[in-house]
Amino acid sequence: MLKYTVIILRLLLGLLFIISGISKFIDLGTFYDTINMFNIVSAKISYFIAIFVPSVEFVCGIFIILGVFIQFSSIVLSFFVAVFIYSISINLFKVRLF
């Protein structure tokens, strides 16, 4: 039973990041603008992030579903989530309205 639960959770988590990566790629301009709106990094770095993050989310999502590089993918995606939480927290602390 535990084996099937882990497989289902892995599929759901992998799909979450695959869909997240695809949705950011579909509207790359909006994702770039959102990163710029946080005003934490320069525009050049924002452009790199706007391309890099969706690619890595997509690939790591596939890795999690396939069951390869799970630990690496988990660390990378956990880092992404932590950075996004940190970025949102900074902007909330500065009382910025999106």
**Domain boundary assignment for the chain:** 2-93
Closest CA to 51 of 18, 90, 24: 24
- Within 10 angstroms of residue 91's Cβ, the number of other Cβ atoms is 16
Global model pTM greater than 0.95:
no
Whether pLDDT at 96 is above 60: no
Q: Are 6 and 47 in contact (CB under 8 A)?
A: no
> What residues contact 69, with CB distance under 8 A and at least 6 apart?
60, 63
Q: What is the pLDDT of residues 41-74, one digit of tens each?
A: 898 999 999 999 999 999 999 999 999 999 999 9
Whether pLDDT at 7 is above 80: yes
Q: Are 17 and 61 in contact (CB under 8 A)?
A: yes
